[in-house]
Amino acid sequence: MASTALARVHSDSRRRRHLRENLEGYLWASPWLIGFVIFIAGPMLASIGLSFSLYDLAKPPRFIGLENFEELVTDSRVPRTMLTTTIFALATVPANLLMGLGLALLVNMKIRGIGVWRTLYYLPAVTPAVAYAQIWIWLFNKDYGLINAFLSIFGIDGPGWLVDSSWVLPSLIIMTFWGVGGSMIINLAGLQGIPTHLYEAAEIDGAGGLSKFWHITVPMMSPVVFYNLVIGVIGALQAFTIIFIVTGGKEDGMTFMVYLYKQAFGLLRMGYGSAMAWLLFLYILLWTLLIFRSGRSWVYYEGQLRGR
């Protein structure tokens, strides 16, 4: 009897301790949880309701059923802007992945003053979007921009980068390379986390530089590349700030996010804008799921069999 009572006391004490630890955990996490509910979950739930409503900010929302989603199907600009957004993502994400990894390999070398180079490459990534958008507008100017001035040295008549409809999207793609320093820093951290004994063992076996890169660096960096790929696709599909500043919301180079902004905040069609936002959410979710699905065959995690 005494042992049973003692075991019951220990069990009650253990439950109270676990309850206290859980309460303390929720207490420390409460600022984030409150912020999530107010600024993320709350607006998401509100946008679901607005997507089934007619709302122009001046009058209370009026329920209209599936009319906003029916308009999405018939709106010719929706597939056109979605295609532009997809092309933008397919062009910028792989290029930024390769450039970020290439720069990381360069700044991972142990040479004098490498910290300065790392800082210089990373600085553009933290420059405010409005500031560097203005720089690119100046660089791409057809009449007095530095890019066309440089091309004129070789007798090349530069195009109207931001005024010629066929050159607007390529110009936007080129601008994204400005922020490749963010990907570089993440890749650099991954490179420095690769155990050096793997390279030493490969050298003992007679492996060359290319062989070490392909059989050690690439597999060990695959989780970092996977992370950059997911974040890059999500960011590219909802890119807005620099595109809107550079193009001014014109038809040429209009992405889905710019069209959403014009509908919701330009024409005050908040209900239709909410429906567009959920369409974009589902599209991004589809791309993310496809990437996660493909990651099973090429992402390597130490201590885990590939494909498991």
| CA 147 – CA 156 distance, rounded (Å) | 11
Helix, coil or strand: residue 268: coil
β-pairing, 62-63 vs 53-54, is: antiparallel
| CA 96 – CA 110 distance, rounded (Å) | 24
The pLDDT value recorded for residue 248 is 84
Contact present, 226 and 97 (Cβ < 8 Å): no
Tokens standing for residue 284: 């991004």
Residue 174, H or E segment: helix 165-176
Instruction: Burial-class residue 99 by CB neighbours within 10 Å (0-12, 13-18, 19+).
Output: middle
User: Predicted confidence band at 100 (pLDDT cuts at 50, 70, 90)?
Assistant: very high
| CA 275 – CA 75 distance, rounded (Å) | 12
Helix, coil or strand: residue 47: helix
Q: What is the pLDDT of residues 146-185, one digit of tens each?
A: 999 999 999 888 898 988 888 999 999 999 998 899 999 9
Q: What's the pTM value of the predicted model, to 2 decimals? A: 0.87
Other beta carbons within 10 angstroms of residue 250's beta carbon come to 14
